[in-house]
Structure 1
Amino acid sequence: MSELRTLVILGAGGDLTQRLLLPGMATCLAAGTPARGLAVVGVGQGEDPDFPDVVRGAFGRVLDADRMDLPAVRRTLHSTRWVTADASSPEDLGELLEDVEGPVGLYFALPPSVTVAACEALRELHVRDLLPADVVLVLEKPFGTDLDSARELNALLAGFVPAERVLRVDHFLGQPGVLGFVGLRFANRILEPLWNRDHIERIEIVFDETLGLEGRAGFYDANGAARDMIQSHLLQVMALVMMDPPTRFDGVEIPANTAHVLRATRLWPESAGNPGGLPTVVRGRYTAGEVGGRSLPSYVQEEGVDPGRGTETFAQVVVEVDSWRWSGVPVVLRSGKAIGSPRQEITVVFRRPPHRYEQFPSADPMPTDVVRVGFEDERIALELNAGGPFDSRGMTRTVLSAELPEPGLTAYGSVLRWVFEGERAFTVRGDGAEEGWRILAEIVDAYASGSAPLQDYEAGSPGPV
């Protein structure tokens, strides 16, 4: 695909655009992609004459004065404009696409139902032979609202646009630590030979945060922790961590390999017992408390929350990837809000040596080797055993750690760089998006069965487990 000349943001008046998308774009432009800048068109149904100022303000939050003066940044700011249009109208979209320079990318910052309506309008343009041949569609989660709707959306897209021009993106795949983890595994011969059920005891992918609802009741209360975080973000990270080695790092191999991991994923089977004593599914909801010096009200007292929905703010599940490489290895996926001491990391715990070496002092039980990679800070730590029978200290624990340089791009900056360059390696294949909904349905069934009752936990605590 040719480098994009225009990015049209459908639903540009929303929180996603101002809080994440535009700052990410700024870091991408400052890093030199696209080198000539691009035109940015915000689209919404209301009048927004201040959109250029909104873009400039978002850029200014992440760029200093020198980088704001870079030619690509200046050209982009100069070409920014707002168009009032209905994203579900073929006529409105047709006029818009006629009036922009191609190749053009359409970024769907829209709710799922409006996304479907917009795609139906684009299909109508295709039928009329009015859809540009080089248009690129960029769709973020949630991709559909359940398994059936995700399948229907995939079928709709396949009817009017080639697969290589549909980018299903997940900004968690652009997190510095996630990309660092890929390099750590595949660019070194130390880890890859051990990357299987024979050597790894369990994997944990955790994204706990101190934030509460933060005014997002309209979205969050209708979704909850499992739907918001596990169904897409954490499962996609898990698939990247556990995929088989690709023959090529491209937009065919990696999305295919991650989709294969998700296809083999299921909730931890009851017949296998509780790994480490953990229940298969846990859900919770925070009550009033203090986090990081801030007082938070109970979730049910937050403005816009319907207590009757029983929305969870904490979800933890144990899954298994039932494949030749991973069968029998528990994977813990967890995300919680208002957690006092949050973890945001990928943790790989290796099995203990086959002999306990009880002659080692303080080695009962012998700790396991652990690899930890932070999501956002790209902190890498390797925890190892050291010492021995001739060491006066006995068995000791050594931590080798490194803080890697700042990547320069936010997670959304990485996503947009891939969009601008037509790079599909870290995108989600259609069936991969569907599998996330299938796995979520298993979690929701556990909620409905009563096996995972909604537990209260105080804001600022470690959560219900």
Structure 2
Amino acid sequence: MTRSFVVLGGTGDLTGRLLLPSLARLYDTGVLHGGEGLLAVAREEWDDGAYRDWARNRLAAHAGELPESTRERLVDRLAFCRGDVTDPDDLRAALTRLDGEPVVYLALPHTLFRPTLTALAEVGLPEGARVVVEKPFGTDQADARALNDLLHRLLPEEAIFRVDHFLAKQTVLNILGLRFANRVFEPVWNAAHVEQVDIVADETLGLEGRAGYYDRAGALRDMVQNHLLQLLALVAMEPPLAVDAHSLPGRKADVLRAVRPPADVRAGSVRGRYTAGTVAGRALPDYVAEDGVDPDRETETYAELTVTVDNWRWAGVPFRLRTGKALAADRQEISIRFRPVPHLPFLDAEPEPDVLRLSLSPDAIALEVNLNGARDPFDLEREVLAARMTPHELPAYGLLLRELLDGDTTLSISDVEAEESWRIVEPVLAAWAAGEVPLREYPAGSAGPAA
């Protein structure tokens, strides 16, 4: 059966920067063959030709490494429908233009999810249809539950894709192979051997013109509630029976149910906001001076949260989740710090414990260990055993779209995961809103708020 994409919000940044380039790469690799169409729905007073011109420019900017002939194959399949995505009549008119089973992609601000899904529920979708929603999924646990209820009125859970592109990153997928295909790691992947886990997503970029969304979301909602908690789930989950759409989301949901926010939010969390500074030679203004920012919201650009996993495997191990904007260096990494050995036979030696680092950008794995030194065979020296991953054929979004076309929800976030993630962060958000945790300032280009 032929599938057709309906992209609601088809003229937005997500469509131009990620979806269209990823679809072009699927043509380039032979996953798509030309029978699939794409209908963009948006408010612009455009026709098919105007939309194709816009898409051609976006592809040149974000997929310029692909042959022009490949990009044109996609452009030739594009169509445009002017409409309000929250209006049932407009959606009904758009859906009647499609052949085959539709994939309805909500490339929209999260504030439009509920009215759009309500309109789709009134219209109804044919058997075999699929719906895709991006993060953030809801604004709190109650909103996530309401969105899930709407989605389940439309389609069964196996036809719903809650997308988080972090799950398709190469190193994230390698967590599965590292843990479950190598006997050397899984026996020590527990509280008896692991002292601490850090999951970090630092970036040098500032607001970059995204005040309309970011100033209402902040770092905790934008990154921790979805991306970083998903990484925690993969690191901390129990072995699945199989890496499939039933077992993997189920294991991740189990561990998220066991995650506990800090008992003392003041001691277990940090929030900060960048001030003017220089990052990699580029001057950044004070966050509150950026266009569209409301200083009274006290939106954080840095969020740090230490949680625990209340189960047999991880009892007592702190999981520190950290993300920030306008920091000194880009760093996307999971680090597992192991406990010291119980007895050290080397006199006067105080080596650092072993650390396993899983880098997401670039994709790499490194194990920091202690070995005998070259100068003195009884001295210990720090060595790093490192491997750089060969890039996947498809980028993260391309892989997600391929799985979507195949109907495989293995890399999708389940309804339970979406709701549990909000449960974890809601006490922290409430404490921050009440002013119980101070908003610390840090200069752009620094390492973040001072302790």
TM-score, scaled relative to structure 2: 0.94
Aligned residue for 1:109? 107
Amino acid at match of 2:104: L
Shift of 1:291: 0.1
Q: 2:211 aligns with which of 182, 195, 217?
A: 217
- Label 1:64 to 1:151 Cα distance change in 2 as closer, same or farther (>3 A): closer
Question: Which residue of structure 2 aligns with residue 316 of structure 1?
Answer: 304
Give yes or no for the alignment of 1:82 onto 2:71: no
Tell me whether 1:241 sits opposite 2:235 in the alignment. Answer: yes
Q: Which residue of 2 aligns with 1:281?
A: 269
Does the CA contact (< 8 Å) of 1:11 and 1:108 recur in 2?
A: yes
Query: How has the CA–CA distance of structure 1 residues 194 and 37 changed in structure 2, closer, same or farther, with 3 Å as cutoff?
Result: farther
Of 344, 356, 366 in structure 1, the residue corresponding to residue 344 of structure 2 is 356
Structure 1 pair 37/344, CA: closer, same or farther in 2 (3 Å)? farther
Q: Choose from 198, 203, 214 the match for 1:204.
A: 198
CA deviations on 1:116-145 (whole Å, 9 max, x unpaired) are: 11211221123xxxx311110001112111
Corresponding residue number in structure 1 for 2:318: 330
- Shift in Å at residue 330 of structure 1? 0.5
> Mean alpha-carbon deviation: is it higher for 157-166 or for 34-43?
34-43
**Inter-partner Cα distance in structure 1 for 2:376 and 2:313:** 37
CA distance in 1, matches of 2:113, 2:65: 36
In 1, Cα distance between the equivalents of 2:188 and 2:341?
13
Residue 406 of structure 1: SS of its match in structure 2?
Answer: coil
1:163 to 136, 149, 157: 157
Alignment of 1:392-431 (within 5 A): 392=377, 394-431=379-416
Cα distance in 2 between the residues matched to 1:397 and 1:425: 39
For 1:42, the aligned partner's letter is A
Query: How much has 1:189 moved relative to structure 2?
Result: 1.7
The letter for the 1-side match of 2:40 is G
Offset, 1:53 = 2.3
**What is the CA–CA distance in structure 1 between the aligned matches of 2:323 and 2:281, rounded to whole Å?**
21
TM-score after normalising by structure 1:
0.91
Determine the structure 2 residue equivalent to 1:52. Answer: 52
How much identity, in percent, do the aligned residues show? 44
Per-residue deviation, 1:29 = 3.0
Q: Which has the higher contact order (CA 8 A, sep 6+)?
A: 1
Helix, strand or coil: the match of 1:156? helix
Structure 1 stretch 203-212 or stretch 84-93: which is displaced more?
84-93
Contact conserved, 1:338 with 1:460, CA < 8 A, in 2? yes
CA contact (8 A) 2:275 2:287 kept: yes
Instruction: Measure, in 1, the Cα distance between the counterparts of 2:66 and 2:306.
Output: 47
Say if 1:28 and 1:391 are closer, same or farther in 2 by CA, change over 3 A: farther
Asked whether the equivalents of residues 17 and 62 of structure 2 are also in contact (C-alpha less than 8 Å), the reply is no
Aligned to 1:398, the other structure's residue is in SS state: strand
1:374 counterpart residue number: 359
Deviation, 1:416, is 1.3
User: Residue by residue, what CA displacement relative to the aligned partner does 1:20-75 show, whole Å, maximum 9, x if unpaired?
Assistant: 222233333323322446211111122234321232233334545764434xx543
Distance 1:183 1:125, change over 3 A: same
Which residue of the other structure, out of 140, 144, 147, is the alignment partner of 2:141?
Answer: 147
Please identify, of 216-225 and 405-414, the stretch whose mean Cα deviation from structure 2 is larger: 405-414
TM-align CA RMSD: 2.1
Deviations 1:80-111 (A, max 9, x none): 11110121222222221121112210110112
Shift of 1:269: 3.5
- The aligned residue for residue 22 of structure 2 is 24
Indicate if the aligned counterparts of 1:175 and 1:376 stay in contact, CA closer than 8 A: no
Partner of 2:335: 347
SS of 2:103 mapped into structure 1: strand
Which runs of 5 or more structure 2 residues have no equivalent in the other structure? none
Separation in 1, partners of 2:399, 2:410:
12
Asked if 2 retains the 8 angstrom alpha-carbon contact of 1:291 and 1:338, the reply is yes
CA contact (8 A) 2:103 2:132 kept: yes
1:227 aligns with 2:221: yes
Q: How does 1:267-278 map to 2 (within 5 A)?
A: 267-270=261-264
CA contact (8 A) 1:180 1:378 kept: no
